[in-house]
Amino acid sequence: MEASPYLPSENFARWRKVKSTAVTAVLVVCALAVIAPLFLVIYFLLVNGASSIDMNFFTQLPKPTGESGGGMANAIVGTITLLAMASIIGVPLGVFGGIYLAEYGSDRANDWLRFAADVLNGVPSIVWGMVAWLMLVVPLKGFSAYAGSVALGLMMVPLVMRTTEEVLVLVPQSYREAALALGVARWKVIMIIVVRTALKGIATGVIVALARIAGETAPLLFTALGNNFWNHNLKEPIAALPLQIYAYAISPYDDWHRQAWAGALVLMALILALNILVRVLSRDRNQQN
- In our burial notation (b when 16+ CB lie closer than 10 A, e otherwise), range 76-108 reads bbbbebbbebbbebbbebbbebbbbbbbebeee
Answer yes or no whether residue 46 interacts with another protein by CB under 8 A. no
12, 44, 58, 253: which one contacts another protein (CB under 8 A)?
A: 44
Alpha carbon of residue 180 to chain centroid: 37
82, 85, 156, 214: which one contacts another protein (CB under 8 A)?
A: 214
Answer yes or no whether residue 101 interacts with another protein by CB under 8 A. yes
Answer yes or no whether residue 285 interacts with another protein by CB under 8 A. no
CB atoms within 10 A of CB 152: 31
Answer yes or no whether residue 134 interacts with another protein by CB under 8 A. yes
Which region, judged by CB under 8 A, interacts with another protein, from 61-69, 80-88, 187-195, 230-238? 187-195
105, 180, 203, 235: which one contacts another protein (CB under 8 A)?
A: 105
Answer yes or no whether residue 92 interacts with another protein by CB under 8 A. yes
Enumerate residues 157-186 that contact another protein by CB under 8 A.
157-159, 161-162, 166, 183, 185-186
Cβ(194)–Cβ(171) below 8 Å: yes
Residue 156: CA count within 13 A, CB half-sphere: 32
Enumerate residues 58-77 that contact another protein by CB under 8 A.
none
Answer yes or no whether residue 283 interacts with another protein by CB under 8 A. no
Cβ(271)–Cβ(215) below 8 Å: yes
CB atoms within 10 A of CB 177: 11
Which CB atom, from 85 or from 194, has the smaller least distance to another protein? Answer: 194
Cβ(249)–Cβ(182) below 8 Å: no
* Cβ 274 to another protein shortest distance, Å: 8
